[in-house]
Structure 1
Amino acid sequence: MRRRLLLVLLGFSIVAVAGFAAPLLRATAAERTQQLVLARSADLDRFAGLADHAFSTGDRSQLVDEAVRYTELYGEPLVVVDAARAPVVETGGLRAVDVADATDKALRNELAGPVPWLRPWSDGDLVRYRPVGDGTRVTGAVVLKASVQRATQDIGERWALIAAGALTALLACGLLALVLARWVLRPLAELRSGMRAVGAGSRRSRVPVDVGPPELRELAMSFNRMSAAVADAEEQQRRLVADASHQLRNPMAALRLRVDALERRITPEGASTYRSALAEVDRLESLLDRLLALATADRGPEPTGTAEVAEIAVGRVEAWRSAAEAAGVALSAPRLDEAVADIPPDELTQVLDVLLDNAIKYAGRGASVEVRCEGCALIVRDTGPGLSDAEIQQAAQRFWRADRHRGSRGSGLGLAIVDRLVSARGGAMHLEHVEPHGLSVRLELPEAR
């Protein structure tokens, strides 16, 4: 957008400067041409008067002297002829036969036509003529061959000044367009960054409200108010979830005690129902724990520590090995690069527990689960049934579960918690297919500095 706006502003600037410079160039050339014509017309009038005096008195000495002196001084030859076309004065090597056409026009009492305005590259000489006489009777003619070199040089110098001024004005317009574009577009860039930050999960993202036009400042203030309102609503939701989880833990603990106390009184006929109730209590406790973990993750990162990724991965693999063997899943860690990630050890442990729990639970008997550390990239890969493309897009949503897993234990919050914890630390979670089947969860963790 900046480029398009600059092109538009510069286009208008070029048109404006050209619209000012072009008439000025033409006017300058026309003015200097007119000056040359007027100056030579005055000289012709003077020599026409001297020639008329010489023809009437018969004394041609003054005319000849003045003509020779003029040519020596200005370097411009002239010719004076009488009514019979006989040369009276010829200076500077100019002969009457060389300007016979101009002489004929003057003797016919014709006026010299207008002169096209000169340009810096104009060359040649300007031939001007004047009849000698009183207007009713022509007694001779004066023809002057004027050089245009000095005039074209003056025009070139003036055009150079105008071009320099136009270029300076164009540069000034370009700088002004750049400043104007930055003034207008900077608030939009700030708003774009703010919206991206909000979309990435940043809370209370704010943009400056003291730059740009008033309309964009008002838009920036509206964005800040919206961001604050969204953050407040999210914080209220998080507190509600956290408070509800905390408040339900005590009744849940009391329910657990009562259910456990009933075990000795359960008859064989009611054992199945009792085990179902116990499993439901376990599920509710797990759900409360996950809700509390999610609320904690939503709160944002606390003061951080660093974690040895490979060391924690080895510890969690060993901790889950017995569960994997019981589920008929082969758990291994074939590659563990040494790396230090910018994430607290307890959070990385929680993340790995969720991923290993999911992989062992859903991969199925006979499958394998691998944990790899490639630098600060932590990968948990299984050879289970995996997820479809549509399911991968929804897997990190809260409370989402695949249709085929709705009957199994779980809350649908595990990957949501992982995604929230990792993204809060500046990392990212990626879910990918494994050929020929399976699922790979790749965590890009920020490297500790």
Structure 2
Amino acid sequence: MRTRVLTVVLAFAVLAVAGFAVPLLGVTASQRTQRLVAARTADLDRFASLAEQAAENGDTGVLTAEVTRYSELYGEAVVVVDARRAPVVQTNGMRSADPAVSRLVDAALRNQRISPGGTLRPWSRDDELLARPVGTGTRVSGAVVLRASVRAAADDIALRWALVLAGAGLFAAACVLLARAATRWVVRPLHRLDHAVGTLAAGLPAEHARAGGPPELRQLATAFNRMADAVTTALEQQRRLVADTSHQLRNPLAALRLRIDSLQSRLPASAARTYGGVTAELERMEHLLDDLLALANAEHRAGELSVIDGREARCDATAVAAAQAQLWQPVAAQAGVHLDVAPGPSVVMPCTEEELAQVADILLDNAIKYAGSGAHVRTSCFTEGPDAVFEVRDDGPGLATAELTQAGTRFWRSERHRDVRGSGLGLAIAEQLVTGRGGRVECAATEPHGLRVRIVLPQGHPA
């Protein structure tokens, strides 16, 4: 936004500067040109008057002296001819026989006044020719031609243009500074408000946006701070409710388990099935509380990652996969599942080892539980374009096409897996951790049967 505002303001400033600088440059050059022409016209009129006096009394001494003195003083050539085109005075190498001078002489003898046209510029360097007839309109007795140098006038115009452009540059610089100050005054509160919104959206404690800028922005910042306080209070109450509920339920569950365990030796054989069902439900509730706490922590961690720069986090995904597979080997062996790690080069994933290990535990737990005895589960790590991939694949029964879209839904479980221990929160927890790093969780069926779950994170590089 700041760039767009600066662009508009600077464009307006440039147009404003050009609007007064360009005409001023033209007026300056025109005035200096007129001054030069007026001065040389006065000199021509004086020489024409002296030439007319010389033609009347036949004495050209005064005319010759004046013209010679003028050429020596100003370095400009002058040619004076009589009515028969005979040279009277010629100075500084200019001759009446020169083609350009001859044309001006002819025009002057026809009683035409020749003055330079156009306006001088700083780069003008060619001399200008001026001509005046000698005598009156009915009796022309000669012609005067003057070759005027424009270098001094052009240098004067260049100096004036430099002053004008310097003033325009200072004005433009002042406009730039004023525009930067104005846009900073307007945009800085928006940046602070944007940061506060990002923090609030991530579920972190809200930061109050400092009021500043125009009155409208100050009112907006004040209103946002009130809203942020209300939202933060509600989120904190919700998080505290989940944590307190999970914590407070552990004590009665632990006491209940102790009492139920103490009844086991006193129950008849006919109550064994009921006892087993009760203990299974207790275990399910304990796991559910653990998963709820893990989900809350994952959501909080994902919020933190959305507002902080976590690009420096790196881990060797291949090493983490091998370590977690080794930890799960006894569980897999007990379930009759063959678990192995696909060989391959080391792959770096943009996350911490703890995060990847937690996600790997979720995927391996699901694969071992739901693949079934005799299934084969394999973990692998590889790069796919700019992404790093951690994959767990099994050849169990898998999921139907309609079920794949619901695999990450909280508390969702397939109908045929209702009797398997679990809470339905594993993939939801993994998805929170992965999306916090800018990645995604992909579930797909494998051929001829089975399930493939992939963790895809951007910016994966070979180790």
TM class by shorter chain equals: 0.7 to 0.9
State whether residues 116 and 130 of structure 2, in contact with CA within 8 Å, keep that contact through their aligned partners in structure 1: no
- In structure 1, C-alpha distance between the alignment counterparts of 2:418 and 2:212, rounded to whole Å: 53
* Pairwise CA distance, 1:116: 1.2
Name 2:310's counterpart in structure 1: none
Name 2:336's counterpart in structure 1: 328
SS of residue matched to 1:63: helix
Aligned 1:356-375 pairs, distance under 5 A = 356-370=364-378
Name 1:30's counterpart in structure 2: 30
State whether residues 199 and 207 of structure 2, in contact with CA within 8 Å, keep that contact through their aligned partners in structure 1: no
* Pairwise CA distance, 1:62: 1.0
Name 1:239's counterpart in structure 2: 240
Name 1:209's counterpart in structure 2: 210
* Pairwise CA distance, 1:368: 3.1
Amino acid in the other structure paired with 2:422: G
Name 1:126's counterpart in structure 2: 128
Name 1:398's counterpart in structure 2: 410
State whether residues 235 and 299 of structure 1, in contact with CA within 8 Å, keep that contact through their aligned partners in structure 2: no
The answer on 1:42 being equivalent to 2:42 is yes
Identity of aligned residues (%): 51
Amino acid in the other structure paired with 2:370: Y
SS of residue matched to 2:54: helix
Amino acid in the other structure paired with 2:411: F
Amino acid in the other structure paired with 2:284: R
Gaps of 5+ in 1: 445-449
Name 1:447's counterpart in structure 2: none
Name 1:280's counterpart in structure 2: 281
CA shift in 2, pair 1:397/1:221, >3 Å:
farther
* Pairwise CA distance, 1:207: 7.1
TM-score (norm 2): 0.71
- In structure 1, C-alpha distance between the alignment counterparts of 2:240 and 2:61, rounded to whole Å: 119
- In structure 2, C-alpha distance between the alignment counterparts of 1:180 and 1:129, rounded to whole Å: 59
State whether residues 246 and 292 of structure 1, in contact with CA within 8 Å, keep that contact through their aligned partners in structure 2: no
SS of residue matched to 1:145: strand
- In structure 2, C-alpha distance between the alignment counterparts of 1:45 and 1:309, rounded to whole Å: 98
Aligned 1:156-195 pairs, distance under 5 A = 156-163=158-165, 166=168, 184-189=186-191, 191-192=193-194, 194-195=196-197
* Pairwise CA distance, 1:291: 2.8
The answer on 1:438 being equivalent to 2:455 is no
CA shift in 2, pair 1:390/1:239, >3 Å:
farther
Name 2:460's counterpart in structure 1: none
Amino acid in the other structure paired with 1:147: S
SS of residue matched to 1:144: strand
- In structure 1, C-alpha distance between the alignment counterparts of 2:11 and 2:402, rounded to whole Å: 49
- In structure 2, C-alpha distance between the alignment counterparts of 1:389 and 1:197, rounded to whole Å: 38
- In structure 1, C-alpha distance between the alignment counterparts of 2:280 and 2:62, rounded to whole Å: 137
- In structure 1, C-alpha distance between the alignment counterparts of 2:32 and 2:291, rounded to whole Å: 91
State whether residues 317 and 333 of structure 1, in contact with CA within 8 Å, keep that contact through their aligned partners in structure 2: yes
* Pairwise CA distance, 1:121: 3.8
SS of residue matched to 1:325: helix
Name 2:308's counterpart in structure 1: none
Amino acid in the other structure paired with 1:16: A
Amino acid in the other structure paired with 1:66: E
- In structure 1, C-alpha distance between the alignment counterparts of 2:155 and 2:399, rounded to whole Å: 83
- Bigger shift: 324-333 or 208-217? 208-217
- In structure 2, C-alpha distance between the alignment counterparts of 1:172 and 1:351, rounded to whole Å: 57
SS of residue matched to 1:230: helix
* Pairwise CA distance, 1:371: 6.2
- In structure 2, C-alpha distance between the alignment counterparts of 1:257 and 1:85, rounded to whole Å: 138
- In structure 2, C-alpha distance between the alignment counterparts of 1:75 and 1:161, rounded to whole Å: 28
Aligned 1:89-104 pairs, distance under 5 A = 89-98=89-98, 99-104=101-106
Counterpart pick for 1:381 among 384, 392, 401: 392
SS of residue matched to 1:40: helix
CA shift in 2, pair 1:100/1:412, >3 Å:
same
Amino acid in the other structure paired with 2:34: Q
Amino acid in the other structure paired with 2:205: R
- In structure 1, C-alpha distance between the alignment counterparts of 2:164 and 2:255, rounded to whole Å: 94
Gaps of 5+ in 2: 305-314, 383-387, 458-463
Aligned length: 433
- In structure 2, C-alpha distance between the alignment counterparts of 1:331 and 1:244, rounded to whole Å: 37
* Pairwise CA distance, 1:117: 0.7
Name 1:116's counterpart in structure 2: 118
Amino acid in the other structure paired with 2:24: L
Name 2:79's counterpart in structure 1: 79
Name 1:16's counterpart in structure 2: 16
State whether residues 369 and 380 of structure 1, in contact with CA within 8 Å, keep that contact through their aligned partners in structure 2: no
- In structure 2, C-alpha distance between the alignment counterparts of 1:430 and 1:370, rounded to whole Å: 17
- Bigger shift: 97-106 or 321-330? 97-106
State whether residues 431 and 441 of structure 2, in contact with CA within 8 Å, keep that contact through their aligned partners in structure 1: no
